[in-house]
């Protein structure tokens, strides 16, 4: 997921493609209404990162969350992310952003 951000930033700086920013803002704020507006584009980009989504889903399953591993960042994934975030004392917004992914990694390493 983190690897997608530089690509997204490059795309957003492109004059031809700068029209994507309002769309990503809209997608991010509608899918994750409790996140700050500044994080909306990154959150939206997460939803289109199939490999990152699958990694998140597998990590959540390994840690006991009931989530289907399908690469789709849908309601089931958001619910599982929120459950994990709540258990870990993170902001429960349903977005597997940097803090959530880092916590998932740490938990996975401890469980090995």
Q: Identify the weakest region by mean pLDDT among 7-16, 42-51, 78-87.
A: 7-16
pLDDT confidence bin for 24, thresholds 50/70/90: confident
- Looking up tokens 């975030």 gives 85
Model pLDDT, residue 9 = 67
Q: Domain limits at 104?
A: 4-111
The Cα–Cα gap between 50 and 55 comes to 9
Q: How many CB atoms lie within 10 A of CB 68?
A: 12
The Cα–Cα gap between 64 and 12 comes to 37
How many domains are contained in the chain? 1
pTM of the model: 0.81
pLDDT confidence bin for 18, thresholds 50/70/90: low
CA distances from 110 to 62, 75, 105 (A): 12, 28, 9
Q: Which residue has the higher pLDDT, 86 or 21?
A: 86
The Cα–Cα gap between 24 and 19 comes to 9
């Amino acid at each position: 997921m983190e690897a997608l951000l530089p690509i997204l930033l490059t795309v957003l700086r492109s004059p031809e493609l700068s029209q994507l920013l309002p769309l990503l803002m809209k997608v991010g704020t509608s899918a994750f209404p409790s996140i700050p507006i500044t994080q909306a584009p990154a959150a939206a980009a997460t939803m289109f990162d199939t490999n990152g989504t699958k990694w998140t889903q597998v990590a959540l399953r390994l840690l006991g969350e009931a989530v289907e591993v399908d690469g789709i960042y849908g309601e089931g994934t958001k619910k599982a992310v929120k459950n994990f975030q709540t258990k870990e004392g993170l902001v429960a917004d349903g977005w597997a952003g940097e803090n959530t992914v880092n916590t998932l990694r740490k938990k996975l390493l401890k469980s090995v």
